[in-house]
Amino acid sequence: MKTFLSYSYGDDTTVIRNLLTENGIEIFDSIKEMQYGNSLQQTIKNAVNNCDFVFFIYSKMNPHIAFEVGLAVALNKPIFTVFAGGEEDTFLLDSTYVHAYPTESAKIGFSLELFLKNLSVKKRKRKTDSSSLPKFYGGGQPIPAKNNFDIIERYNTATGKSGSELEIFFQDLLRVYNVNVVKNSTLKNDRKWSPDFSIWSDELSSLLDNPIVIEVKTEINRSNLETIINNLTKLNTINTLVGSCLIFYDRLGNLKQEDLPITPRQLFISIRQLVFELQFQDFVASIKKIRNNLVHNI
C-alpha cells in the first residue's frame, strides 16, 4: 500500500516514516516529492489519487491541508491524522485520528496498526471490478453524475424548503461542478454554529483568499443579518485557516441586495443567480461574473 504523507516544514517525521515502513507502506512525501512545475491543485490531486490512504500531521502551518483533505474526501480515500499538541480546530475529527506528537511512537503505532488492519480487511472485501463501485463523500451519499444533474429541477425541489434541503442541493452542486470541497461539520465558531462548506480554488485566489468558507441560508433578513456577519467575523478571528466567505441565500426578507454588505472577505450571493449562471459556464467563471457584477457593476 501507499500513503500520501502531509506535514509542515519543521515537523519531525522520522518516527512516523519508520512506523509506515515497518508496516510495508510506501510513502509519497507532500513536500520533497511535489512537482511544482505544473498546477499545484493537479499535482496534489494526482498524488492523492495514486495513494491508498492519506496520513496527516495536522498543523495550522500546513498551507494546503484544507485542499488536501477536500481531495481525500472527494476521492474516497481513508484518512489517518495525528493531532500534535492537542489542536482540534478542524473537520478532521470525522476521520481516524490520535492525539500525539509526531515523535510518540507508542501512541501513534497502536492506533495506526488498528487503522491498517481495518483498511486491509476492506481491501480484501473489495470487488474485482472497481469501476462498478459507487463513490461516496461526506455522509456517504453517491456522487451524482453531471449529465444526470438537472440544476434547474434540483433547485426547484430545494427552494423554499428547509436549510438541510438546500445544503444537500449545494453539496451535490459543488461535487457535480468539480469544486474541491470539504464538509466543515466540525469547524466550529462556537457550540451553536459552524459553517456549511469550505472550498479551495486556485482559479479564484486572485479575488478570494483560500480556503473559502461557504454558508447557505434559506433567508436573510434584518433580524439575522447581524448574527450571520458576527458569526463569520468570529470564525475568521479564531480560525487562521479561514480565508474568504461566500454567503448564498435562497431569498431576502425585508432587505434588498444593495442592503447586503460587500467586503474583501465576505460576499452575499443569490442561489437563484448562481443557478442561472451555471447553465452557461462552470462554477469558477460563475462566481467571478457574479462577484464582478456586485463589486464593479459589470
Predicted pLDDT at 239: 52
Question: Can you tell me the distance from the alpha carbon of 48 to that of 21, in angstroms, rounded to the nearest whole number?
Answer: 18
Predicted pLDDT at 36: 60
The residue to which cell 498546477 is assigned: 39
The DSSP bridge partners found for residue 266 are 245, 263
Q: Residue 83: which pLDDT band, with cuts at 50, 70 and 90?
A: confident
Q: Residue 2: which pLDDT band, with cuts at 50, 70 and 90?
A: very high
Helices (H) and strands (E) in the chain, counts: 9, 12
Of 85, 66, 76, the closest CA to residue 202 belongs to 66
Q: Residue 28: which pLDDT band, with cuts at 50, 70 and 90?
A: very high
The DSSP bridge partners found for residue 267 are 246
- Range of weakest confidence among 11-15, 25-29, 39-43, 209-213: 39-43
Q: Which residues contact 200 (CB under 8 A, 6 or more apart)?
A: 41, 66, 67, 70, 180, 210, 211, 212
- What one-letter code names the amino acid at 147? N
List the grid coordinates of 16: 512516523
CB 87 within 8 A of CB 60: yes
Per-residue pLDDT of 125-169, as tens digits, reads: 544 343 433 333 333 344 445 555 778 888 888 887 778 888 888
Question: Would the pLDDT of 190 be above 70?
Answer: no
Question: Would the pLDDT of 48 be above 70?
Answer: yes
Higher per-residue pLDDT: 123 or 99: 99
Question: Would the pLDDT of 24 be above 60?
Answer: yes
**In the chain, what are the domains?**
2-130 (3.40.50.450), 137-296 (3.40.91)
Distance between the two ends of the chain, CA-based, in angstroms? Answer: 51
Coil, helix or strand for 180?
Answer: coil
